Structure 1
């Protein structure tokens, strides 16, 4: 990376090649861009990294159309140093602020003067992505012992977190004169597949083999944008990231390398249709239908044999996933005229709430406030629950589980199956398991390329169904997000976790190793290289 930076300085300093030499500065004269990049694919690819080194944005094209509606709330943040420009919301391409082919990508620039690249540009299709690798030093020692901390499952390791490729067309949501469309396919490979897996889609990797590395497709959807309805209606259909959340599975969308427990034990994806309506510049409404959370449509009404009928599953057969049922998601979001404040209230994937693969009945909100150009705060709280969760404190229930009497018994899912509940009574066969959580990020913009984020969190797993231990947790950490350019960033951090009522760390339920510690101290760092 240092060589790229020095080479950039050396070439930019060469005045011998005319007014737009190969080393000319497109930041001063945008017309010099093609001359700077060169003509062949590899020169253009490398030289684009070289061009952006040390800058916080790509050179601005003076002929580019406006990137947001003139009367829309102001842009609260920038990339870099933050992972987003708009306050995050899910289920929709950002309304009023999205132009086709607007992603800054070295790969697309390199392809720009090829036949394939010209065709993609003409059709507003982009192909881009990133490689994300990281490592950690931890007070935990056993494999998987960092759990319930995440996304650094294994302590004291270096790993490929995720390699991601986006193939997409962004709809134009700035204009208001024609219906537009889009799509996204997002294959992922790496350790982080365990945090995106949906039951029934390549899930054997996690649930039957517990592979350290795996693949998934957390996003595969199409979109239609209809600007003539109010300030715009966007319909998304397919598999998409669940709403709302400050964080996301995809590495560049987060303040820090690791994730809060609030996000780790949340819904991940829905498969269905989500409608997002901008009623006006301040108010947005959402309504969607999905087949539960983190499960596939073909699990709906699918059954498997039940070798051990019991009060919870009394028949000779039982649902493959009781949570794979029609579910409703609804949300409302308010944003101030300045864009400095936003509140987003959501009920996600709501149905009867019976114990399913990840059938979480999610009620909560996210809120954001920008104090000034240097400081802002992000806050999230939610309550989630599942009903009829098998009681780990009831011997008959445990015996039925061991005998194969539930869809999540080890005969069906030997690894990473949904947890049981440690109910308050030993006499009930099942009970409702719930979580209450609060997380906040306080972020400081130290420079155009540096963000420092402090995270504090309280997570109360009231029946232990989510983390495997009936306890509340306190977690706090601080991270530094440094960008060398819009394409390369690093995120070192230090995080401390404490389970308040029982040991919850340095164990591995998949290996039969009980937790032996009530705290974890983890130092971690990762690098994201975009392409």
Structure 2
């Protein structure tokens, strides 16, 4: 138990100085002493492709090499369509938003070759992976926060436990990205992610390792379930058919819900914490979806899935329709992404959402862009929920003492939200993001409190090296109709946070 408590602190404290050490090493490598240009074997640096060295030596060399300045004259990979609208880094992605696929059709694989893959390149496994375009990488992500709340930060996510260091997520990924730039042959791919950490509380799907969350009551913790858990949260296969319109990808399995600006994975976000809007909507779906590029401006997505956050074999699953379309202007300065994330005619089970989303992106310049997302979501007949983990009454409602509100009314139980991100590139290794949000949980079905919220967040991402990110953040939020913070004790919350993401 003591080891588990100390591990996140040790990881975070180790990551903070590691960048300076790597940078210092890189500087000494790039500017050698003229008197020691011919290094002796004892002082020579091992290269990541030196197959005579051991695995750990090659891994250390890969981190050291990544800290070197990138070649500004390196040729850009071939792509089909418009240029990338942004730079990544410092932004988490170089492309306009499109859910359900690793990259928009016509965009090459933009994943970096991280140190693990470089260190494996000399092995039989590594050579086989290269020959078959299979990638293996991941990251480790601890955080720390200071909060005006003492028991819970919720609905702030994922840093729900206040005033502590947390081990948010360790993610392992293995994937093959289909080549959608070419148009002369069918290609295939797959994607598997396994997540361990505190963040499993939010990502877990009913029927997929969900016992560790749903069957472990924790009355002294902000959230039920084991404190740290595991979620094999992404598992799908892709088939790319180039001859349908300008290319179609068929995806089957468990995939991320399509429309959000934010994502479950730490490196894919502009900020450390999530908006309330994101905290309480859908996380993953299990089903089949097609993504079809009609032309370089229009992409259509159609699919069916088993309901939000329910496995298709679980009794809470309900067959649901999904439809989205993405439009990008010819100037590449605007993007619209309306989406029916899920729709069916069934009453509430586990998280049987009906969700309608619109995202608008605008690029002011290559260094400044804005993203705005608005949605209306609801469940039907919350008081008739069939899943025993579901509440039939809100925790707090205006006019009633805490915990004494009546049952939800039958019919639609709605919530509305809008969030805006303003993202600014300061230089190639630093960006600032400002997020403002308004959320109305009309009956308290989503957060547990029937109240309106606002949240205001500013944060920075600093890339120490291409393998290490540091993200400080400050956030203020308020509940207007009921004291929804710290478990129903306060109407506002102030938090300061810091995390680190070490890619491997």
TM-score (norm 2): 0.87
1:66 aligned to which of 77, 81, 104: 77
Q: Does 1:95 align with 2:100?
A: no
Please report how far the alpha carbon of residue 171 of structure 1 lies from its aligned counterpart in structure 2 after TM superposition. 0.5
Question: Could you give the per-residue CA deviations for residues 204-256 of structure 1, whole angstroms, max 9, x where no partner exists?
Answer: 11112111111101100000111111111000000000011100001100001
Q: 1:251 to 1:244 in 2, by over 3 A?
A: same
2:54 aligned to which of 3, 18, 40: 40
Q: Distance in 2 between matches of 1:23 and 1:362?
A: 60
Question: Could you give the per-residue CA deviations for residues 55-91 of structure 1, whole angstroms, max 9, x where no partner exists?
Answer: 4xx55795x783412xx12211122111111012111
Q: 1:529 to 1:495 in 2, by over 3 A?
A: same
Please report how far the alpha carbon of residue 364 of structure 1 lies from its aligned counterpart in structure 2 after TM superposition. 1.3
1:408 aligned to which of 378, 382, 387: 387
Q: Distance in 2 between matches of 1:435 and 1:241?
A: 21
Q: Does 1:374 align with 2:367?
A: yes
2:397, 2:449 within 8 Å by CA — same for their partners in 1? no
Alignment of 1:88-487 (within 5 A): 88-99=97-108, 102-142=111-151, 145-209=152-216, 210-299=225-314, 302=315, 321=316, 324-390=317-383, 407-409=386-388, 413=389, 417=390, 420=393, 430-487=410-467
Secondary structure of 2:199's partner?
A: helix
1:419, 1:466 within 8 Å by CA — same for their partners in 2? no
Q: 1:428 to 1:530 in 2, by over 3 A?
A: closer
1:247, 1:253 within 8 Å by CA — same for their partners in 2? yes
Secondary structure of 2:313's partner?
A: helix
2:48, 2:119 within 8 Å by CA — same for their partners in 1? no
Please report how far the alpha carbon of residue 93 of structure 1 lies from its aligned counterpart in structure 2 after TM superposition. 2.8
Secondary structure of 2:382's partner?
A: strand
Q: Does 1:83 align with 2:92?
A: yes
Question: Could you give the per-residue CA deviations for residues 93-143 of structure 1, whole angstroms, max 9, x where no partner exists?
Answer: 32344445943211101111221111110011111000000010000001x
Please report how far the alpha carbon of residue 459 of structure 1 lies from its aligned counterpart in structure 2 after TM superposition. 0.5
1:97, 1:174 within 8 Å by CA — same for their partners in 2? yes
Secondary structure of 2:83's partner?
A: coil
Secondary structure of 2:98's partner?
A: coil
Deviates more, 1:417-426 or 1:145-154: 417-426
Question: Could you give the per-residue CA deviations for residues 9-52 of structure 1, whole angstroms, max 9, x where no partner exists?
Answer: 22223365569x99999xxxxxx976789843222211222222
Secondary structure of 2:251's partner?
A: strand
Q: 1:45 to 1:340 in 2, by over 3 A?
A: farther
Q: Which runs of 5+ in 1 are unaligned?
A: 26-31, 303-320, 391-404, 508-514
Q: 1:369 to 1:18 in 2, by over 3 A?
A: farther
Q: Does 1:490 align with 2:470?
A: yes
Secondary structure of 1:120's partner?
A: helix
Q: 1:501 to 1:520 in 2, by over 3 A?
A: same
2:234, 2:255 within 8 Å by CA — same for their partners in 1? yes
Secondary structure of 1:46's partner?
A: helix
Superposition CA RMSD, Å: 2.6
Instruction: Give the corresponding residue for 1:4.
Output: 22
Please report how far the alpha carbon of residue 485 of structure 1 lies from its aligned counterpart in structure 2 after TM superposition. 1.4
Instruction: Give the corresponding residue for 2:479.
Output: 499
Secondary structure of 2:61's partner?
A: helix
Secondary structure of 2:191's partner?
A: strand
Q: Distance in 2 between matches of 1:127 and 1:22?
A: 32
Please report how far the alpha carbon of residue 149 of structure 1 lies from its aligned counterpart in structure 2 after TM superposition. 1.1
Q: Which runs of 5+ in 2 are unaligned?
A: 1-17, 217-224, 399-404
Q: 1:191 to 1:439 in 2, by over 3 A?
A: same
Secondary structure of 1:166's partner?
A: strand
Q: Does 1:517 align with 2:496?
A: no
Q: 1:428 to 1:346 in 2, by over 3 A?
A: closer
Q: Distance in 2 between matches of 1:33 and 1:174?
A: 32
Q: 1:12 to 1:457 in 2, by over 3 A?
A: same
Please report how far the alpha carbon of residue 427 of structure 1 lies from its aligned counterpart in structure 2 after TM superposition. 9.5
Secondary structure of 1:5's partner?
A: helix
Q: Distance in 1 between matches of 2:446 and 2:481?
A: 15
Q: 1:23 to 1:436 in 2, by over 3 A?
A: farther
Secondary structure of 1:118's partner?
A: helix
Q: Distance in 1 between matches of 2:231 and 2:387?
A: 21
Size of the aligned set, in residue pairs, is 468
1:12, 1:24 within 8 Å by CA — same for their partners in 2? no
Q: Distance in 1 between matches of 2:183 and 2:451?
A: 51
Q: Distance in 2 between matches of 1:23 and 1:383?
A: 62
Please report how far the alpha carbon of residue 338 of structure 1 lies from its aligned counterpart in structure 2 after TM superposition. 3.2
